[in-house]
């Protein structure tokens, strides 16, 4: 299949592109490199039929040309901004990238007559579910509490509204919306990794501290109503997440929109993650307690049973230490990321 991967130079998009190439698909990456890494694309280039186009997804003529020239069959739309804290600081930037960006993708698909999409969404669409909604099923009412979650929910609605319209018109539009939990780890073979600028995610920050690149790790909030007072998240290995994309792609059914949680079904507190990072690295890096980070819900972990039932997907790498060990191996070999 000819797959357009938006955001394919980014952390998750590049891992998807890697797997698609390895399984014989032709991949076209569209990325404006605002967060993605050209060096990640360079690593993918020898692996198969890959084209890279550096552009904003909103450049309509250019993107139309890409759909035409590469005879795109299906879109995996990863391209987005994904930092909760930054979204609170710069909300319009998030609406532009995540909401308007998805609008541009859907318009480009419509222009090109492409009817299949796997869309990257997030558990941030749920907001701060009450304790009876934990673990979170897809039926939990989406009530996002930060601009990141709201911008992604808007994008979801665009996908589902378009799908409804197409279905009513007898069209064969097919979409799967994957709501990611906290994606962690990297390609177990070490070809790709996580290289965010700026880095805000807990696991890579701990690994940077273990390498001596930061004086300490701040724990954002120790007064949450959780057993150890810190936030609980569901850390899913990027390789498992990509399995979910491939399974979704293969199962896309004309006229159908599906929404799935992609998580392990287990929650770990910030303190547990810090301890796991200390264990895996063997470095007892310093930790300081800091105020809560705006926009952070206390507890988010998935009930992933729907995707298990429908697609047979389940997280295979559920041991946090193993997931962190993959990230650590890459980090140690690439202390400056792809540079
Ligand atoms: N976190 C933290 N210190 C950091 C980075 C993150 O305490 O330096 C916490 C953050 O407040 C959240 C959890 O770790 O509760 C996971 O945050 P991350 O940014 O990795 O992912 P998010 O849940 O925002 O997608």
Task: Give the distance (Å) from ligand 1 centre to CA of residue 127.
Answer: 15
Task: Give the distance (Å) from ligand 1 centre to CA of residue 28.
Answer: 32
Specify whether the CB–CB gap between 229 and 222 falls below 8 A: yes
- Both tokens of 72, joined, read 């795109």
Task: Give the distance (Å) from ligand 1 centre to CA of residue 75.
Answer: 29
Angle at 39 between CA 72 and CA 238, to 5 degrees: 70
User: How many domains does the chain contain in total?
Assistant: 2
C-alpha distance from residue 83 to each of 88, 90, 109, 147, 339 (Å): 9, 10, 27, 10, 22
Residue 157 and residue 220 in one domain? no
Q: Is residue 60 part of a domain?
A: yes
For residue range 66-77, what is the model confidence (pLDDT) as tens digits?
Answer: 999 999 999 999
Backbone angles phi, psi at 133, to 5 degrees: -95, 10
- H or E stretch at 216: strand 216-220
Query: How many angstroms separate the CA atoms of 107 and 270, rounded?
Result: 40
Q: Tell whether the torsion through CA atoms of 6, 84, 38 and 321 is positive or negative.
A: negative
Q: Is residue 110 part of a domain?
A: yes
Domain holding 10, by residue range, is 2-186+235-262
For residue range 8-24, what is the model confidence (pLDDT) as tens digits?
Answer: 999 999 999 999 999 99
The confidence score (pLDDT) of residue 170 equals 83
Residue 149 and residue 293 in one domain? no
Residue 245 and residue 292 in one domain? no
CATH classification of the domain holding 243: 3.40.50.720
Active site residues: 148
For residue range 109-140, what is the model confidence (pLDDT) as tens digits?
Answer: 999 999 999 999 999 999 999 999 999 999 99
Residue 125 and residue 217 in one domain? no
Residue 335 has what DSSP assignment?
A: T
Residue 10 and residue 130 in one domain? yes
The per-residue pLDDT of the chain, averaged, comes to 97
- Binding-site residues, ligand 1, Cβ < 6 A: 84, 182, 200-202, 205, 217-220, 231, 233, 270, 293, 296
Residue 13 and residue 141 in one domain? yes
Residue 72: strand, helix, or coil:
coil
């Amino acid at each position: 299949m000819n797959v357009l991967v938006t955001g394919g130079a980014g952390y998750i998009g590049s891992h998807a592109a890697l797997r698609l190439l390895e399984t014989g698909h032709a991949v076209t990456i569209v990325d404006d490199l605002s967060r993605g890494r050209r060096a990640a694309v360079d690593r993918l280039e020898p692996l198969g039929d890959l084209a890279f186009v550096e552009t904003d997804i909103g450049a309509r003529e250019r993107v139309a040309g890409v759909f035409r020239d590469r005879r795109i069959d299906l879109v995996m739309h990863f391209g987005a901004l994904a930092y909760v804290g930054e979204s609170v600081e710069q909300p319009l930037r998030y609406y532009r990238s995540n909401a308007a960006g998805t609008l541009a993708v859907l318009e480009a698909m419509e222009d090109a007559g492409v009817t299949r999409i796997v869309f990257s969404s997030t558990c941030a669409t749920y907001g701060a579910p009450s304790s009876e909604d934990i673990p979170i099923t897809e039926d939990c009412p989406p009530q996002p509490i930060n601009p990141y979650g709201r911008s992604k929910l808007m994008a979801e609605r665009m996908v589902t509204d378009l799908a409804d319209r197409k279905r009513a018109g007898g069209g064969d539009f097919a979409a799967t919306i994957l709501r990611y939990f906290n994606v962690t780890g990297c390609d177990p073979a070490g070809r790709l990794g996580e290289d965010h600028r700026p880095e805000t995610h807990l696991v890579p920050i701990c690994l940077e501290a273990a390498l001596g690149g930061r004086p300490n790790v701040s724990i954002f909030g120790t007064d949450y109503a959780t057993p150890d007072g810190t936030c609980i998240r569901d850390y899913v290995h990027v390789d498992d997440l990509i399995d979910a994309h491939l399974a979704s792609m293969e199962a896309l059914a004309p006229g159908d929109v599906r929404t799935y949680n992609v998580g392990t079904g287990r929650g770990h507190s910030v303190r547990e993650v810090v301890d796991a990072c200390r264990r895996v690295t063997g470095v007892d890096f310093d930790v300081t307690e800091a105020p809560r980070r705006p926009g952070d819900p206390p507890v988010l972990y998935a009930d992933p049973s729907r995707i298990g039932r429908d697609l047979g997907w389940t997280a295979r790498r559920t041991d946090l230490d193993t997931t962190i060990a993959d990230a650590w191996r890459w980090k140690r070999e690439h202390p400056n990321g792809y540079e």
